[in-house]
Amino acid sequence: MKRLLFLSLGVLVLAVPSRAQSSADASVGYSYFRLGGSGGINQNGISGSVAYKPIPYLGIVGDFGGYHASPGGTSLNTYTFLFGPRLILHNPTKVTPFVQFLAGGAHLTAGSGGGSVTNFAYSVGGGVDVGVLPHLALRPQLDYFGLHHFFGGTANCTRVSLSAVVRF
């Protein structure tokens, strides 16, 4: 029984990469996050994403980020977790532009004992993958984030990122 289970698992692992149509990528890199518009707070952090592309021009994306600032000596952290579609424009060059619309949440924490809140968040943005090696690219990216608060307003935020991308 164990042999059959391991054999089935091995066939599955080898069969997934053999599908010529689908592919995936993962990215991680530095991000600058502007929490709020003018008069907002500048945060620095890390963001990453995982994308599965069932067809060459469409990806399903999971995007995650963590950003930190210490305005006035108080620790302020923002964590984002968003999911949605990415449209990819393939061309014969090593530069592959994309746009995406993601929705999910943002968790904000303030200082020790300052409290925390998790609200609905969405982002609209895009970037380009610049091929460096066959399975490695650099990704500059710009996104608008909307963070909804309990009082019905939306905090307008911006994220600028530079990531390394590994393609599978």
Q: Tokens representing 47?
A: 């963001």
- Buried b or exposed e, range 48-72, using 16+ CB within 10 angstroms: bbbbebeeeeebebbbbbbbebeee
pLDDT at 21: 59
The stretch 93-109 carries a mean pLDDT of 95
pTM attached to this predicted model: 0.81
Q: Tokens representing 149?
A: 């608060």
Please determine, for residue 132, whether its predicted confidence score (pLDDT) is greater than 70.
Answer: yes
Handedness of CA 167, 20, 82, 127 (dihedral sign): positive
Owner of token pair 């054999």: 7
pLDDT at 111: 82
What is the fold, at CATH topology level, of the domain defined by 21-167? Porin (2.40.160)
Q: How do residues 3-38 score in pLDDT, each as one tens digit?
A: 433 444 444 444 444 445 579 999 999 999 999 877
What is the C-alpha separation between 147 and 45, in angstroms, rounded?
17
> Residue ranges per domain, the chain?
21-167
**Residue type, position 127, single letter:** G
Q: Are 70 and 76 in contact (CB under 8 A)?
A: yes
